[in-house]
Amino acid sequence: MARSRSPNYPQIGLKEALQRVSSVYKRDYQSTLTRDLAAERLGYSGLNGKSLAVLAALGKFGLLEGRGEDTRVSDLAVRILAFPAGAPERVAALREAASRPELFGELDQRFASGQASDGSIRAWLVTRGFIPPAAEAAVRAYRETKQLLEAEIGSEPPPFSAPVAVSSPKPDGGTRRAVFGLAEGEVVITAPVFLSAESVNDLRDFLDVFMKRALREAGLPT
């Protein structure tokens, strides 16, 4: 009989994780604390099943860091808490925190950044060895994290939102595919082999819009 997979995922979403780490930061800033004291700052009487799960979640999002029994609020958490909603620095830090949990990265790749039903994701997790309650909790935390990101960047234009010009049909010369590997994954561009001068100019304008948005999300000057 196959063993159930250890639930290596944050058991709360990023929104709640930020609320939790904020309570620690407001009291102790980035001072080094014992895990037991950190649990008390989070509202628990000490280390127990619930407080350990929350501490682990904050660690998986990169909001707490440390070694052994010592922990502190991370620089990543401070970047999120210090900037107002919608600020490029905050958006970039939120994206980094949301991508930290290994399982969330797997789900993004498997389900196109969550473009699937909860049932489909839950079923996939169960087939990967998660027991049903753990799969349910993982889906909930994943969805809550995605919802926070959507709320923070909702006013920005969606990816690939530049207008696409409709031109007259061209001879079918096949397609070309360019792949550029990044730490977060692959960037893939598929385009017809034959492009008119007008289409090349349209594509350049589109890529300019895409790069400006990527720079803004990364907190870099545009």
Distance (Å, whole) CA 100 – CA 141? 13
Note the Cα 167 to chain centre separation in Å.
37
Distance CA 176, CA 179 (A): 10
If one counts every other C-beta atom within 10 angstroms of the C-beta of residue 172, the result is 9
Q: What was the pLDDT predicted at 36?
A: 95
**pLDDT number for residue 214:** 76
At 133, which amino acid appears?
P
Question: Tens digit of pLDDT per residue, the chain (222 long)?
Answer: 445 455 579 999 999 999 999 999 999 999 999 999 999 999 999 899 999 999 999 999 999 999 989 999 999 999 999 999 889 999 999 999 999 999 999 999 899 888 889 999 999 999 999 999 999 999 999 999 999 999 887 644 344 333 434 444 444 456 666 766 665 666 778 878 777 877 777 787 778 777 877 777 777 776
Q: Which helix (H) or strand (E) holds 55?
A: helix 49-60
Query: What does the pLDDT read at residue 156?
Result: 42
Instruction: Look at residue 182 in the predicted model and tell me its pLDDT.
Output: 64
Q: Please report, for the chain, the start and end positions of each structural domain, with discontinuous segments joined by +.
A: 14-153, 161-222
The model's pTM is 0.66
Q: What is the pLDDT of residue 198?
A: 76
Contact (Cβ atoms closer than 8 angstroms) between residue 73 and residue 24: yes
| H/E segment holding residue 206 | helix 197-217
> pLDDT at position 169, please?
44
The secondary element (H helix, E strand) that includes residue 79 is helix 75-82
pLDDT confidence of residue 168: 42
Q: How many residues does the chain have?
A: 222
For residue 98, give the nearest of 163, 183, 10, 29 by alpha carbon.
Answer: 10
**pLDDT reported for residue 184:** 61
DSSP label of 64: E
Q: The tokens 């990044």 sit on which residue?
A: 182
CA distances from residue 165 to 9, 199, 200 in whole angstroms, order as listed: 43, 8, 11
